[in-house]
Amino acid sequence: MTRTISILGSTGSIGKQALEVIDGLPGKFSIFALAAGNNIELLKQQITKYKPQVVSVGTEELALELEKEVKNVKVLQGQEGLKQIAGDSQNEVLLVAVTGLNGLEPTIYAIENGIDIALANKETLVSAGSIVTGLAKEKNVNIIPVDSEHSAIYQCIGGKNSAINKIILTASGGPFRTSSIKQINNADVETTLAHPKWSMGSKITVDSATLMNKGLEVIEAHWLFSLDYKDIEVIIHPQSIVHGAVEFIDGSVISQMGLPSMHIPIQFAITYPEKFTGIKTGSLDLTQISRLDFEKPDLNRFPCLEMAYEAGKNGGTYPAALNAVNEEAVYAFLKGKIKLTDIAKIVSKALEQHENIPDPSFKDIMEVDKYSRKIVSEYLLSKL
Amino acid sequence: MTRTISILGSTGSIGKQALEVIDGLPGKFSIFALAAGNNIELLKQQITKYKPQVVSVGTEELALELEKEVKNVKVLQGQEGLKQIAGDSQNEVLLVAVTGLNGLEPTIYAIENGIDIALANKETLVSAGSIVTGLAKEKNVNIIPVDSEHSAIYQCIGGKNSAINKIILTASGGPFRTSSIKQINNADVETTLAHPKWSMGSKITVDSATLMNKGLEVIEAHWLFSLDYKDIEVIIHPQSIVHGAVEFIDGSVISQMGLPSMHIPIQFAITYPEKFTGIKTGSLDLTQISRLDFEKPDLNRFPCLEMAYEAGKNGGTYPAALNAVNEEAVYAFLKGKIKLTDIAKIVSKALEQHENIPDPSFKDIMEVDKYSRKIVSEYLLSKL
């Protein structure tokens, strides 16, 4: 079989690794379209190598620049470009690996056109889980998670979403797992970005340090697997070998393990339900790793995790507000404007003030997103 | 649904626990027959409680004794009794939990009659794997393992036997995991029977101490999952939480975990493919267990494991000879006639002398079994 795929976010970390996976499976994929933000140098190389029919870039300016330099490829731009690519019925699977809420509309377009989604964009499910999963059910479309934790759960369940007692998402604990509150309070950007196990973008690495990342994953899991929040557990597992586990009603626990590598979940998602020999990923030798540790997360030192649970349980637009406020706060931290621990404070404050919209529409979510970001800017201004 | 089940070995450890599982699932099972060896006191209680149509006991004498004391139940005896029960088409599933090669013929009878097998009898697959699995395939009969390790693999594979790189069977390492060769050489029966994790019968507990048990499981796994011996790995895992794991071709590893309890694999086997809430088994809390260790088995201190691999690879009647010689040697050890380390020596010697019959018939296997046991008796006599 040859599967037609498009990648939204082809020059990002997940997009590049997805292309490596595709390189390792010659003849298995035909690339319909690639979409990048502003890294048009890398996109040009990808065009030469993968010969997509369509590409899209972040702005009109970049699109005009690119158009002069490439041949035999249609060049689109902006959110409209992502939507056009996503909804094209030539796609058999769409890898959504753009960051932020940019991924939401294209994902909805693809689902409406019956295209399976390999989802590497957290915001889509965190902010608009009810809309996205509801539509996917209606259109009988698979949403296969690319996140290693959700991929783990998906693999453990084996497609059948029944007889589950609870699921367990593991977290490495990040760079401050063993740090005191004082040390976390004084954490600088450099230390925060030095993640012990996973090499990822800056935003998600900060989220890993605060455990907000795990909190967002809890909300994603709620939607992906139709589970109550009380049945989603987070445990700290510093070796990052067990990515997730499912406890079934008979007491049996199935877990998925692997060396920390995004190639496995990416390949799983874009080739599902088939399995192929993986690339670059060595065999997991448990005797060499020798020891796996597990501990409960400390909610005192990592309050973001509990806030995410709360936002999730409150439902409506709370998760969208949580996500937007957190994202802005993380950017402020990365720019040196606030301390790491201010992120939790800002999120907490914003959630307290949030006026919930139960059962929100797409428009509601976009507005809450915009408004929540404004709150953060105002907060930062007030501190100047 | 009500499933009609018979239990061969109802007064043994697995049989009793199976009845506990059935107690926990009221209305789900109807018991057609129970077969015991010589514990007719317990069998009488089971007859009163479960009201089987048929029972069987070890000898004619016991059958006559029992017949006088029970009503409304047909009393059979011996190997003929086991066969009559096993082959009765009222059975929907047969739990084979008798020990030794006594389980083989009844299992074959059940398979020939299209009855699914919940298999807790190692010897059946070790000695006659090709016959049993060949027939099961032909008759489209499920053989669901009850052993926790094979149950783990079965659960990880999820029924589909494809895209497997290798499987991993875990072993607790037994009471001599950290002992020196000298200490093992001087091991007495009491220490040998003090298994750190599992409470089982004496024979299997000695096999766990020598790792022969894991070796026999490797041979079972070869037949159950149609795998090459090179793709079956044994690792030592002292906490006995991970019971088995499967590495797929994409590098992803699925493992099954649980508290050490036979209720889970027994229930899995007799209710397959359905899942019900388990009894008596607490939720697995990895953070409470806190740590899982893994190490390579030491073949110098535990040579039986390698002998089993060799016998398996040699095929034919080698595994039947291995099994018979080991069983007799273990009994000799339990009776204080030989040292623990003599078991490996006797097995090694017997395998060296073994004249292999490739592609053996049922009769060949029974003869090799008998002959191999005689070798051990002769060896023991020669030492007097």
Give the sign of the dihedral formed by CA A223, CA A224, CA A225, CA A229: negative
**Same domain, yes or no: B102 and B153:** no
Decide: helix, strand or coil at residue B65. Answer: helix
Q: Which of B156, B249, B289 sits opposite A277 (nearest CB)?
A: B249
Structural contact between residues A237 and A170, judged by C-beta atoms closer than 8 angstroms: yes
Q: Which domain holds residue B334?
A: 315-384
Helix pair angle (B212-224, B202-210), 10° resolution: 100
- Mean pLDDT computed over B133-146: 97
- Mean pLDDT computed over A218-247: 97
**Same domain, yes or no: A199 and A306:** yes
The chain A residue lying nearest B235, using CA atoms, is A287
The whole-number pLDDT of residue A84 equals: 98
Query: CA–CA separation, A226 vs A231, rounded Å?
Result: 10
**Same domain, yes or no: A117 and A49:** yes
Mean of per-residue pLDDT scores for chain B: 94
- Mean pLDDT computed over B301-330: 97
Q: Mark yes or no for CB contact A268/B254 under 8 Å.
A: no
The whole-number pLDDT of residue B277 equals: 87
**Same domain, yes or no: B61 and B208:** no
* pLDDT above 90 for B321: yes
* pLDDT above 70 for A227: yes
The whole-number pLDDT of residue A384 equals: 62
The whole-number pLDDT of residue A294 equals: 98
Q: Which residues contact B230 (CB under 8 A, 6 or more apart)?
A: none
How many domains, in total, are found in chain A?
3
3-state class percentages of chain A: helix first, strand second, coil last, to nearest 5: 50, 15, 35
**Å from B239 to nearest chain A CA?**
11
Q: Mark yes or no for CB contact B276/A250 under 8 Å.
A: yes
The whole-number pLDDT of residue A322 equals: 98
Q: Which residues contact B200 (CB under 8 A, 6 or more apart)?
A: B13, B208
Q: List the alpha helices (DSSP H) in chain B.
A: 13-23, 40-50, 60-69, 78-87, 104-112, 122-139, 148-157, 181-185, 189-193, 202-210, 212-224, 263-271, 286-289, 303-314, 318-334, 340-353, 362-383
Q: Which residues of A touch B251 (CB under 8 A)?
A: 258-259, 261, 263-264, 278, 281-284
The answer to whether residue A378 is domain-embedded is yes
Of the pLDDT bands very low, low, confident and very high (cuts 50, 70, 90), residue A158 is confident
3-state class percentages of chain B: helix first, strand second, coil last, to nearest 5: 50, 15, 35
Q: Which residues contact B345 (CB under 8 A, 6 or more apart)?
A: none
* pLDDT above 90 for A105: yes
- Mean pLDDT computed over B112-127: 96
**CA atoms lying within 13 Å on the CB side of residue A297:** 25
Query: CA–CA separation, B161 vs B151, rounded Å?
Result: 14
Percent of residues, chain B, with pLDDT higher than 70:
98
Of the pLDDT bands very low, low, confident and very high (cuts 50, 70, 90), residue A381 is confident
Decide: helix, strand or coil at residue B126. Answer: helix
- Which long-range contacts does A198-205 make (Cβ < 8 Å, 24+ apart)? A198/A172, A198/A240, A198/A260, A199/A13, A200/A13, A201/A12, A201/A13, A201/A99, A202/A334, A203/A99, A203/A327, A203/A330, A203/A331, A203/A334
The answer to whether residue B275 is domain-embedded is no
- Mean pLDDT computed over B57-80: 96
The answer to whether residue A267 is domain-embedded is no
Q: What is the pLDDT of residues A298-354, one digit of tens each?
A: 999 999 999 999 999 999 999 999 999 999 999 999 999 999 999 999 999 999 999
- Mean pLDDT computed over B316-325: 98
Please report the DSSP string for A88-148 in residue order.
-TT-SEEEE---GGGGHHHHHHHHHTT-EEEE--HHHHHHHHHHHHHHHHHHT--EEE-SH
**Same domain, yes or no: A195 and A307:** yes
Lowest mean pLDDT among A95-99, A185-189, A202-206, B379-383: B379-383
* pLDDT above 70 for A268: yes
The whole-number pLDDT of residue B1 equals: 75
Of the pLDDT bands very low, low, confident and very high (cuts 50, 70, 90), residue B384 is low
How large is the ipTM?
A: 0.93
Query: CA–CA separation, A43 vs A50, rounded Å?
Result: 10
**Same domain, yes or no: A111 and A193:** no
The answer to whether residue B272 is domain-embedded is no
What does the DSSP 8-state code read for residue A284? P
Lowest mean pLDDT among A159-173, A334-348, B121-135, B301-315: A159-173
Q: Mark yes or no for CB contact A261/B251 under 8 Å.
A: yes
* pLDDT above 90 for B138: yes
Cα A334 to Cα A13, A339, B144, B324: the distances in Å are 19, 9, 55, 69
- Mean pLDDT computed over B338-359: 96
The answer to whether residue A17 is domain-embedded is yes
Q: Which residues contact A134 (CB under 8 A, 6 or more apart)?
A: none
The answer to whether residue B270 is domain-embedded is no
Angle at A188 between CA A187 and CA A194, to 5 degrees: 90
* pLDDT above 90 for B9: yes
The amino acid at B366: M
**Same domain, yes or no: A159 and A256:** yes
Burial class for A10, CB neighbours closer than 10 Å (0-12, 13-18, 19+): buried
**Same domain, yes or no: B154 and B295:** yes
Regarding pTM above 0.90, the answer is yes
Structural contact between residues B356 and B314, judged by C-beta atoms closer than 8 angstroms: yes
Query: CA–CA separation, A119 vs A13, rounded Å?
Result: 14
The CATH number of the domain where B78 resides is what? 3.40.50.720
The CATH number of the domain where A325 resides is what? 1.10.1740.10
* pLDDT above 80 for A55: yes
The whole-number pLDDT of residue B198 equals: 67
Which residues are bridge partners to A75 per DSSP?
Answer: A55
Lowest mean pLDDT among A60-64, A89-93, A122-126, A376-380: A376-380
Phi, psi of A94 (to 5 degrees): -120, 120
Query: CA–CA separation, A348 vs A376, rounded Å?
Result: 12
- Mean pLDDT computed over A103-123: 96
Q: What is the pLDDT of residues B220-250, one digit of tens each?
A: 999 999 999 999 999 999 999 999 999 999 9
The answer to whether residue B268 is domain-embedded is no
Q: What is the pLDDT of residues A177-208, one digit of tens each?
A: 999 999 999 999 998 998 776 667 789 899 99
Q: What is the pLDDT of residues B34-52, one digit of tens each?
A: 999 999 999 999 999 999 9
**Same domain, yes or no: B82 and B138:** yes
The answer to whether residue B190 is domain-embedded is yes
Q: Mark yes or no for CB contact A162/B275 under 8 Å.
A: yes
Of the pLDDT bands very low, low, confident and very high (cuts 50, 70, 90), residue A282 is confident
The whole-number pLDDT of residue A199 equals: 65
**Same domain, yes or no: B298 and B153:** yes
The whole-number pLDDT of residue B97 equals: 97
* pLDDT above 80 for B53: yes
Q: Which residues of B touch A162 (CB under 8 A)?
A: 275
* pLDDT above 90 for B304: yes
Q: How many CB atoms lie within 10 A of CB A358?
A: 11
Sort strands B253-257 and A253-257 into parallel, antiparallel or unpaired.
antiparallel
- Mean pLDDT computed over A17-22: 97
Continuous segment of H or E residues that includes residue B99: none
Helix pair angle (A212-224, A318-334), 10° resolution: 150
Which residues are bridge partners to A3 per DSSP?
Answer: A29
Helix pair angle (A340-353, A362-383), 10° resolution: 130
Chain A contact for B180, CB < 8 A?
no
The whole-number pLDDT of residue A86 equals: 98
**Same domain, yes or no: A248 and A326:** no
In the block, which residue shows the tokens 């996976």?
A21
**Same domain, yes or no: A353 and A369:** yes
Domain boundary among A90, A113, A145: A145
Domain boundary among B121, B145, B169: B145
**Å from A294 to nearest chain B CA?**
5
Of the pLDDT bands very low, low, confident and very high (cuts 50, 70, 90), residue A159 is low
Query: CA–CA separation, B113 vs B118, rounded Å?
Result: 15
Q: What is the pLDDT of residues B23-35, one digit of tens each?
A: 999 999 999 999 9
The whole-number pLDDT of residue B280 equals: 58
Chain A contact for B145, CB < 8 A?
no
Mean of per-residue pLDDT scores for chain A: 94
Domain boundary among B145, B169, B198: B145
Q: Mark yes or no for CB contact A252/B258 under 8 Å.
A: yes
